[in-house]
Structure 1
Amino acid sequence: LGRCHHAFKFAKYASRYLAAFACRFNRRFRHDALPGRLLIAATSSSPAIAVG
């Protein structure tokens, strides 16, 4: 069983599990490429018409 979930002492190990989750969550995107991608998206899209 390669991917079993085991019970753990929450008070003792919770900070480690939460830190590992935060690290994986924050590494989802390539943050260094975001400004360039935003600039490309902003310049290649057509203007939006405000209705209202």
Structure 2
Amino acid sequence: MRVTSLKFEQLVQENKQDILKDNQRLSEIEARLDKKQADFVKEERNA
């Protein structure tokens, strides 16, 4: 039983780490999109 519990806990920790990495990646993508949108709006105003 302990081995199964340990495997489960390890999977939970790995999933948490994956979610944190995904969250960070999404934040980076959102920041890039925000910058591109702001640059686009600036270009449109200057056109």
TM exceeding 0.5:
no
**TM, length-normalised to structure 2:** 0.41
**TM, length-normalised to structure 1:** 0.39
Q: Return the structure number with greater helix share.
A: 2
